[in-house]
Amino acid sequence: MSTKKDLLLPSEELPPPSYEQTPSNYYVLEDFEKPISECNIYIRTIFQKRVFKLLFFQISFTFLVQTLFYNNIFSTSFLSNGFVYWSCFIGAFITLISLSFAISPILNPDGEVMNLENNQFGWMISYNMQLFILFLFTLFESVLVSFITIHYNKKQLMTAVFITLVIIITAYTVSSYKAHQYEQYEMNNNLDMLVDEESTLSMVYKVMWCITSGLFAFGFVLIFIPHSSVAELIFSWIGAVLFSIYLFVDMYMVFRKVRPNEEIRCCVMLYTDIINLFLNILRIVAHNSDN
């Protein structure tokens, strides 16, 4: 007997379904209660395409905003307004929290919500509304990044962009390769390797949590005490390494561990990884070019 994971694509090409109106022959509630790696190939393909398309839009939009401010198409005097900065900061924080705890409703063919009684903590927000909130979050973050990038020259910015792109491509390649490896182990019922996968991810997250806590504490201390450029350089190097690891792990989660209706949340975590990685690399590049 074939399982859902063995299902092939339909003979007739269907348009990608939304998570609010999903064809009953492909999605059932159980599909959204298990990791993406256990879903059939159709669900996995649609999910991953959506995640990386939305992420590409976020990065492209952020790059466009930086270009407009940097070339003074949008007046940089707009960025000297403290009200604008704090409005964007608060807006980014609120939209981030909203998306982090948003739950996408899953509707059956009759239009009834199937996941009302689940164990997830959060609030039900329609998929289209999540897309709108994601756009607002990207807009707020793009303006906040502009407050930083206008202080660097074009060579420093393009060098940081190039290095960030190389790391993104490397993280995508390595994470997809490792995900494919573990998928083969899963198909061969290699339980030892699957247990090793879980323990490795758990250990990596614990280590990253400790380093992240230390990095935030270090950064908080630097705000209040005089410090040299060497201290900022150390801070930036630790941040660059940390968010490179976060990017790899979060991409791996997209291939293996998240649920099929968590694509917006995946976009948020990958986008924040990339932005923080870019800003840390930018500080490193600027420091090296000044010396």
> Per-residue pLDDT for the chain (291 aa), expressed as one digit of tens each?
444 444 334 444 444 444 444 433 345 555 666 788 777 778 888 888 999 999 999 999 999 999 998 888 777 777 878 888 899 999 999 999 999 888 877 666 555 665 555 566 667 888 889 999 999 999 999 999 999 999 898 999 999 999 999 999 999 998 888 888 777 777 777 667 777 777 777 788 788 888 888 888 877 777 777 666 788 888 889 889 999 999 999 999 898 888 888 889 999 999 999 999 999 999 999 988 766
3-state DSSP helix/strand/coil percent for the chain, to nearest 5? Answer: 75, 0, 25
CA distance 187 to 116: 33
CA distance 265 to 126: 13
From the CB of residue 140, how many other CB atoms can be counted at a distance below 10 Å?
20
For residue 40, give the nearest of 28, 50, 52, 51 by alpha carbon. Answer: 28
**Long-range Cβ pairs for the range 122-126 (8 Å, 24+):** 125/98, 126/20
189 Cβ contact list (under 8 Å, min separation 6): none
User: What's the confidence (pLDDT) of residue 9?
Assistant: 41
Please name the helix (run of DSSP H) or strand (run of DSSP E) that holds residue 49, with its range, or none.
Answer: helix 41-70
User: What's the confidence (pLDDT) of residue 169?
Assistant: 94
Burial class (CB in 10 A: 0-12, 13-18, 19+), 160: buried
Could you give phi then psi for residue 20, rounded to 5 degrees?
-95, -20
For residue 26, give the nearest of 36, 45, 40, 6 by alpha carbon. Answer: 40
User: What's the confidence (pLDDT) of residue 274?
Assistant: 96
For residue 247, give the nearest of 280, 219, 221, 218 by alpha carbon. Answer: 280
User: What's the confidence (pLDDT) of residue 2?
Assistant: 41
User: What's the confidence (pLDDT) of residue 129?
Assistant: 92
Helices 263-290 & 229-256 angle (0-180, nearest 10): 150
